[in-house]
Amino acid sequence: MVNAQPITLKDMVTYEKQSNFIKEFKIPLTERGLKGITTDTLGNAWFYHSTFNSSTIVRLEPIVMKFTQYSVPGKTVVDNAIINLAGGQLVFDNDSNVVWFTDARTNSIGKLDVKSGDIQLVSIPTPKAGPMGIVLSPDGKSVWFAEITGNRIANLDIQSNKIIEYPVIGSASSSNNNGILNNQDNGPTFLTFDSKGVLWVTLSYSSSVLRVEPWALVPNSSTMGMSPFTLAKSETFSPFGIAVVDYKAGSQQRMYVSDHGSSRIISTDAGPNLLLQSYLSYWTSPSQVYPTTLPGQIVADKLGKAIYFPEHGGNRIAKINVDSGQMTEYDIPTGPLSTALFTAISGDGKKVWFTEWASNKIAYLDTTIPVPLTIQVPGYYNINNNNNNNNTTMLLVLKRNAPKILDVVLKTDNNNKTALEASSPSTPQSLLLNEVGLSLVGMGESGIAGINYTAQPQRIDMEKNSTANSQIALQVENDENNSRIIRTGQYTIMVRATALENKDNNSLVSLLYPVQIMLDVPAPPINQQQPQQTYPNNISNNYQVPVNGFFDFTSLGGILRIFPLLVAIGLIAYIVYRRIERSRKTTQQHRPQER
């Protein structure tokens, strides 16, 4: 028997491709420690790098390819687990020409003066707070940040450098206190302001999103000015990144939340009466090596027309067009797991920057390069679509023995070329359009469950056609042998078109369009037990993961399959540890009184 070889970083980074859309930069630091990133008004990228012994802010001037490093002073005052958990984030303050950042290693908020290069640290009152997300207030007078292990949000007054903290609460449905609001270990992670001045915070540990009215907050109180929300359905939900945009001419707001324990983005109306009660799941394409794609931080452009996010386990950068509802995915050139989690968008919206932990690179998606292909599903639209059409059907209802047809329209625009392509008619476009593939993904973690489908045609030559039509026939599986239980309910399927880049024919660009369906099937008999198996994924594509046993520690696939479980165990252990610490402190405080 051959001894198993240990997994190394080399297994995560085995190739480096070329891309028409993404440009990567190797950083001048050898140790792994890349986390957050931001941009300034000159188009420079600023990113955070941290190890147990040091933390560094680095500026990249991409035009001249110059890196400048700024060492963060101060001793390490927390455990390595907190440093690894709390990803240091940055935000650029244009009014003061300052970069603000969270530094878990020193348990402080940092202020880097761009002109002088000086760094000033402001200590956070709560020890081992694990500062994570950071954002400027709308008036520019304060900086707000989340404490993922301190279970607080806080604001730092820029003029006085004074920090005020507010403990956060999770939703009653996510607590273990019989409906009592949970105020411990909620894991505030990222935060953002909407156009009305409301602050929104993701609570990763309590499956909640927190709505905060800053003007109503009371220091050290978690009951005033805060309202937690969670999904109406009893689903697993790990909120991470968040963005809120105005749409329908500013009359409504739309929220996008990444479900970091899953493969989807949640899209919902941001109104207090509708928040997370009716929502759309944007399912990403299945990962090549990871059981879930783990969507990360979310950023929106200034006009609120598009949101962007990295797929931590999917090794892609994705965009959702707020108006059309179409999602576009771009393969990251380095892989199979460059570990992209954090992102930022330039002020002009032309570059979406992100960091790659495993490959020690930073990179950007060039948003000015159009994808010369669009996908439409006439007759059906989703709750995220802004088009008002009274003749449009909201749901596609599927019943047994009653097949339904989805009409899919693909369109190309010969004018959608880069500047170089436009100047030379003989230059090929950014994508190879001679064999565009059509398929379905989504519906759940295990893919399309309980539905068979066929696409005619499944592959389309869009080089010869500016418009092409295809039909997808859907039918609910029969259960005559009772081998599967198909449950009635509302789901989201994603109609997907894929094309290869012309620069590297192993890199895909995928277009996905969400369609809501309703499975209307008879309920299974009460005495029928659900079989111990998952629904098969009926999609044949290039993303299938070989199964060699779940607890396989000898291969990259095995490690990646158990990684979410290991992370969950680690977080639970940390929470238990904190509760034991609190219990000990409480006991010590009460002992003198008991005597």
Q: Using one digit for the tens of pLDDT, what is the confidence trace for 408-446?
A: 999 997 544 444 444 444 345 789 999 999 999 998 877
The yes-or-no verdict on residue 178 having pLDDT over 60 is: no
Q: Are strands 508-519 and 396-398 parallel, antiparallel or unpaired?
A: parallel
pLDDT on residue 234: 64
pLDDT on residue 145: 98
Query: May I ask the CATH architecture of the domain 9-366?
Result: 7 Propeller (2.130)
CA distance 100 to 123: 13
pLDDT on residue 250: 75
The yes-or-no verdict on residue 4 having pLDDT over 90 is: no
pLDDT on residue 288: 76
- For residue 177, what is the DSSP state? S
The yes-or-no verdict on residue 550 having pLDDT over 50 is: no
Query: With contact defined as beta carbons under 8 Å apart, do 186 and 205 qualify?
Result: yes
Burial of 422 (0-12, 13-18, 19+ CB in 10 A): exposed
**DSSP string of 241-286?**
EEEEEEETTTTEEEEEEEETTTTEEEEEE-STTTTTTSEEEEEPPP
The yes-or-no verdict on residue 196 having pLDDT over 80 is: yes
- For residue 5, what is the DSSP state? P
pLDDT on residue 13: 93
Q: Compare 483 and 334 and report the one with higher pLDDT.
A: 334
The yes-or-no verdict on residue 52 having pLDDT over 90 is: yes
pLDDT on residue 386: 52
pLDDT on residue 555: 39
| Average pLDDT estimate for 97-111 | 98
Residue 365 to residues 33, 257, 529, 560, Cα–Cα distance (Å) = 21, 21, 48, 26
The yes-or-no verdict on residue 1 having pLDDT over 90 is: no
The yes-or-no verdict on residue 576 having pLDDT over 60 is: no
pLDDT on residue 174: 47
Give me the residue label for tokens 């990962």.
Answer: 287
> Tens of pLDDT along 153-172?
999 999 999 999 999 987 65
pLDDT on residue 484: 57
| Average pLDDT estimate for 205-213 | 92
pLDDT on residue 60: 98
pLDDT on residue 578: 46
At a CB cut-off of 8 Å and minimum separation 6, what does 148 contact?
85, 86, 130, 131, 132, 187, 188, 189, 204
pLDDT on residue 534: 33
To the nearest 10°, report the CA torsion of 426, 432, 433, 436: 170
CA distance 373 to 209: 35
CA distance 111 to 96: 10
Q: Compare 56 and 580 and report the one with higher pLDDT.
A: 56
pLDDT on residue 248: 78
Confidence of residue 383 (pLDDT cuts 50, 70, 90): low
pLDDT on residue 80: 93
Confidence of residue 521 (pLDDT cuts 50, 70, 90): confident
CA atoms within 13 A on the CB side of 246: 11
CA distance 351 to 315: 18
CA distance 416 to 394: 31
Average pLDDT, the chain: 82
To the nearest 10°, report the CA torsion of 38, 108, 193, 225: 170
| Average pLDDT estimate for 176-205 | 81
Confidence of residue 577 (pLDDT cuts 50, 70, 90): very low
Confidence of residue 198 (pLDDT cuts 50, 70, 90): very high
In the chain, where the domains are located = 9-366
Query: With contact defined as beta carbons under 8 Å apart, do 234 and 215 qualify?
Result: no
Give me the residue label for tokens 């002992």.
Answer: 591
| Average pLDDT estimate for 351-370 | 97
Q: In angstroms, how far apart are the furthest CA atoms of the chain? A: 90
Q: Compare 81 and 5 and report the one with higher pLDDT.
A: 81
What is the end-to-end Cα distance of the chain in Å, rounded? 64
Confidence of residue 349 (pLDDT cuts 50, 70, 90): very high
CA distance 120 to 103: 11
| pTM beyond 0.75, yes or no | yes
| Average pLDDT estimate for 207-228 | 88
The yes-or-no verdict on residue 306 having pLDDT over 70 is: yes
Give me the residue label for tokens 């509302």.
Answer: 490
**How large a percentage of the chain has pLDDT more than 90?**
61
Listed range (275-284, 375-384, 538-547) with the worst mean pLDDT: 538-547
Burial of 48 (0-12, 13-18, 19+ CB in 10 A): buried
> Tens of pLDDT along 264-298?
999 998 887 777 778 899 999 998 778 899 999 99
pLDDT on residue 183: 61
**How large a percentage of the chain has pLDDT more than 70?**
77
**DSSP string of 84-106?**
HHS---EEEETTTTEEEEEETTT
| Average pLDDT estimate for 522-538 | 46
